[in-house]
Structures are given as structure tokens and as C-alpha cells.
């Protein structure tokens, strides 16, 4: 079978692979990172998230989501309601800590530009879960910006730690400096 390489458009190469656009991605990365960090930080000091009553906020949020499963066009689909009822609610305390520390970790990673594409992926994962639970808020906007950060993974962390960390690690197409024995 003959391999065909599809050429990349100049515009997409410029937006997603040219380090001259790194300042643009830095601004988006810092904004999204700050939003995640502050959301998690606010939860960190709350007894309903990580204190004596940990899990109470998650339980309230998920119970509200279950109330959105009724009607002809429900905001929360049946499969997600099953997940809420049978997995998330019984483990609301664990989910409370995962949400809190997950938001903080994604925020810090994005602000530092460390594993930017992976951090943006986990941010999208959280955004999708909030959307599946029937909450719109800023989630679609953040999801969209994080999707672009993933597309620009080569340069979105260029003005950050990715510039130094990623070349040192092994990639699918070449060994990194840490793993190169020559």
C-alpha cells in the first residue's frame, strides 16, 4: 500500500506550529489556566468540597443534574443519569476531591505550560462532564479554547516548560535527550 502524506495548509501551520504565534497561545493558556486554578482554589478552602462535609457540594450538584432528566427533551441524558446515580453519587466524597485537585492541577499545568496538550485534554474532559450534567456556564467557551490549545500543542507551551521538558522526553517519532544513549 502506498503512503500518501497530506500537505498542511500554510494557515494551519502558522497557527498551530509556528513559534511566532506562541504569545497568542500563551494568553489563551494563561486565561484558561487561571480559570481552572481559581475554580479549584475556591473549592479547596470549602468544607463542602474538601473539608468536614466533603462531597456535599458534589452531591447537591449531581442531585440537581438528576432533576434535569425528566421531560420530552431532558438536559441530562439517561446514560449520564445512570453514571451519576450508580457511580458518582455513591462516591461523591472521592469525586469532590478529584474535581478540586483536578481543576487545580489543570490550571497549574496550563499556566506553567507543562504538558499543555494533556492538561487541555483533561480540562476538556471536565468541561464535557459539566455539560453532560446540564450545566452550560463558561464550559463551551473553555472547551473550545482548550481544543485549540490541543491543536497547537507544538507551540502552545513554547513560552513555558514544554519548550524544555518535551524535547527531553521520548516521543513517538524520536527518543528524547533523556533517553538517547548516543
Q: Is 16 inside a domain boundary?
A: no
| pTM as predicted | 0.89
Tell me what pLDDT residue 30 has: 98
Q: Give 112-155 as a DSSP string.
A: HTSSHHHHHHHHHHHHHHHHHTT--TTHHHHHHHHHHHHHTHHH
Residue span of the structural domain in which 159 resides = 31-168
Per-residue pLDDT tens for 73-86? 999 999 999 999 99
Q: Is 57 inside a domain boundary?
A: yes
Mean pLDDT, residues 127-135 taken together = 96
Per-residue pLDDT tens for 134-170? 999 999 999 999 999 999 998 999 999 999 998 888 7
Tell me what pLDDT residue 180 has: 63
Rounded CA gap, 149 and 24, in Å? Answer: 10
Mean pLDDT, residues 21-46 taken together = 97
Q: Is 12 inside a domain boundary?
A: no
Rounded CA gap, 133 and 74, in Å? Answer: 11
Tell me what pLDDT residue 176 has: 64
Q: Is 20 inside a domain boundary?
A: no
Tell whether the model's pLDDT for residue 130 goes beyond 90: yes
Question: Which residue blocks in the chain are alpha helix, DSSP H?
Answer: 10-17, 22-44, 47-50, 56-66, 78-83, 92-112, 116-132, 139-151, 153-156, 162-168
Q: Is 5 inside a domain boundary?
A: no
CB atoms within 10 A of CB 104: 18
Tell whether the model's pLDDT for residue 175 goes beyond 90: no
State the burial class of residue 41 (Cβ atoms within 10 Å of its Cβ: 0-12, 13-18, 19+).
middle
Tell whether the model's pLDDT for residue 29 goes beyond 70: yes
Number of domains making up the chain: 1
Amino acid at each position: 500500500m502506498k503512503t500518501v502524506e497530506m500537505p498542511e495548509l500554510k494557515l494551519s501551520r502558522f497557527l498551530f506550529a509556528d513559534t511566532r504565534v506562541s504569545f497568542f497561545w500563551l494568553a489563551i493558556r494563561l486565561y484558561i489556566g487561571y480559570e481552572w486554578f481559581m475554580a479549584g482554589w475556591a473549592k479547596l478552602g470549602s468544607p463542602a468540597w474538601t473539608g468536614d462535609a466533603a462531597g456535599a457540594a458534589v452531591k447537591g450538584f449531581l442531585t440537581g443534574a438528576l432533576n434535569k432528566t425528566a421531560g420530552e427533551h431532558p438536559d441530562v441524558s439517561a446514560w449520564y443519569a445512570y453514571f451519576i446515580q450508580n457511580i458518582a453519587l455513591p462516591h461523591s466524597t472521592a469525586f469532590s476531591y478529584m474535581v478540586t485537585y483536578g481543576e487545580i492541577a489543570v490550571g497549574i499545568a496550563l499556566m506553567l505550560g507543562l504538558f499543555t496538550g494533556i492538561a487541555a485534554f483533561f480540562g476538556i474532559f471536565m468541561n464535557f462532564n459539566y455539560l453532560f450534567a446540564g450545566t452550560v456556564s463558561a464550559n463551551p467557551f473553555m472547551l473550545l479554547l482548550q481544543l485549540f490549545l490541543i491543536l497547537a500543542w507544538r507551540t502552545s507551551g513554547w513560552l513555558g516548560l514544554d519548550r524544555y521538558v518535551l524535547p527531553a522526553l521520548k516521543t513517538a517519532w524520536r527518543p528524547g535527550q533523556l533517553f538517547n544513549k548516543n
